[in-house]
Amino acid sequence: MISKDDLPIVGILRGVNEKDVKPLAEIFIKHRIKYVEITMNTAKAGMLISKFAEAGGKDMIIGAGTVLDTNDLDDAIAAGARFIVSPSLIPEVIEECVSKEIPVFPGALTPTEIHSCWKLGATMVKLFPASLF
Spatial distance between the Cα atoms of 3 and 111, rounded to a whole number of angstroms = 29
Omega into 106 within 30° of 0, i.e. cis?
no
Q: Is 51 a catalytic residue?
A: no
Spatial distance between the Cα atoms of 64 and 70, rounded to a whole number of angstroms = 12
**How many CB atoms are closer than 10 A to CB 116?**
17
Of 19, 96, 100, 126, which one is the catalytic site residue?
Answer: 126
- Residue spans of beta strands (DSSP E) within 14-125: 35-39, 61-65, 84-86, 104-108
Of 34, 37, 96, 101, which one is the catalytic site residue?
Answer: 37
Q: Is 37 a catalytic residue?
A: yes
Residue 100 identity = K
Spatial distance between the Cα atoms of 103 and 94, rounded to a whole number of angstroms = 9
**Which amino acids are annotated catalytic?**
37, 126
